[in-house]
Amino acid sequence: MSETVLLSSDRGAVRILTINRPDKLNALDAATLDALQTAFTAAAGDEGVRVVVLTGAGPKAFVAGADIAQMNTLSPVQGRDFALRGQRMMRFVETMPKPVIAMVNGFALGGGLELAMCCHLRVAADTAKVGQPEVNLGLIPGFGGSQRLLRLAGRAATLELCLTGAPIDAARALQLGIVNRVVPAAELEAQTMALAEQLAASAPLALRGVLDCINHGGECGIEEGLAYEAAQFGLMFATEDMREGTSAFLARRKPAFTGR
C-alpha cells in the first residue's frame, strides 16, 4: 500500500487505517480506492487483527468526497468504471468478517459518507458534517450512497439529502441513524478506540456470525433470515470460544477468547 495515501498502524488487535491526503481533504481518487482495497484485504486475512478503525488525516475531514479533479476528466465509460471500483471496495468492507468502525473526524461528504456508511459502526465528532452533495455537481451518488443511506435513514431522509445536496450536522445524523454515536471532538479518538478495544476483546467468531446474519438477513425475507440465524447459532457450538464464554460466565470470571 502507498503510505502517501494510506497509513496503517496497529494498537493491539485493532488496526487503524488513516486516509492520508489532508491537502485534498482526503478525497478518494483511484489510487486511494486501490490502497483501501489492499489494506482491508490484508486486515481481513490477518489473524492478529480483530477490529479495524478507519479515519482521515488532519483536523478537517474524514473524507470530503471523491476527487473532483480526477472525475472532471472521465468519459462516461470511465465514470461507470470509477463507480464500480468504489462500490467493489466498499462492498468488501461491508462484508468484512471483522467489525469496521468509521471514526468521522470532520467532513464526510459524497464518497466520504458512502465510505463511512459501508463501515459497520460510525462514531462522529460533534463538529462533523455529513451529506450527499453530488447533485450540486450535476452528479448522483456513485459508490452506493443512494442504497446504503436508504437502508440506514429511510426514504424521506435519503430523498432530502440526495435531492438538496445540503449537509447536516452530527446531531441530526445521529437522529436519522446515519451515525451510531456523537462525541466531543476532543474525545473522538479515545472513545472510538475504547469501543474498538471492547469489540477486540469479544469472541471473533461470534462477531463474524453477527455480521454475517445482519448482512444476509438485511437482504432477504424473514423466514430465510431466521433460518440463517439458527444455522449460525448452531455453528457457534463447535467453537472453543463458546465453551470458554459459557464456562467463564458460570465461573464468574472474565472470558479469554482466542478466535477458535
Active-site residue list: 114, 134
Q: The C-alpha cell of 141 is what?
A: 451518488
Burial grade of 35 (CB within 10 A; 0-12, 13-18, 19 or more): buried
Helix (H) or strand (E) holding 10: strand 6-11
Ramachandran quadrant class, 65 (left: phi over 0; alpha: psi -120 to 50; beta: rest): left
Listed in sequence order, the DSSP H helices in 59-187 are 68-71, 76-94, 111-118, 145-153, 155-164, 170-176
Q: The C-alpha cell of 168 is what?
A: 447536516
